[in-house]
Amino acid sequence: MPLPQSTNAPTASGKDCAICKEPLLVPSSNNGQPSYVIDDVEFRCKHHFHWSCILEHSISSHDARNRCALCRQSVLDSQGEFIVKVRNEG
């Protein structure tokens, strides 16, 4: 099944990354064929991000660590566990 070349990439969840506003997919190559894998991290506040964007965000601002980049809600539970839902096909 060839993937569409120039039209919109398939969307995983219908949402975009709240940091970079790109679809929650990352380009990948599958035997030389361009394709996408889902890279969707959902925080408990229901905001969605790429893993790489979260990492960059937490590196750029120490204060932002373990917090949603958008609403700044902590993503840690009372035990300090990181609570996110990750969907990654890759």
User: CA–CA separation, 71 vs 48, rounded Å?
Assistant: 11
| Assigned token pair, 12 | 């995983």
Smallest gap from Cβ 58 to Zn ion, in A, equals 13
Asked if 17 interacts with Zn ion (CB under 5 A), we say yes
Smallest gap from Cβ 51 to Zn ion, in A, equals 9
Judged by CB under 5 A, which of 3, 55, 59, 71 binds Zn ion? 71
Where does this chain bind Zn ion (CB under 5 A)? Answer: 17, 19-20, 45, 47, 50, 53, 68, 70-71
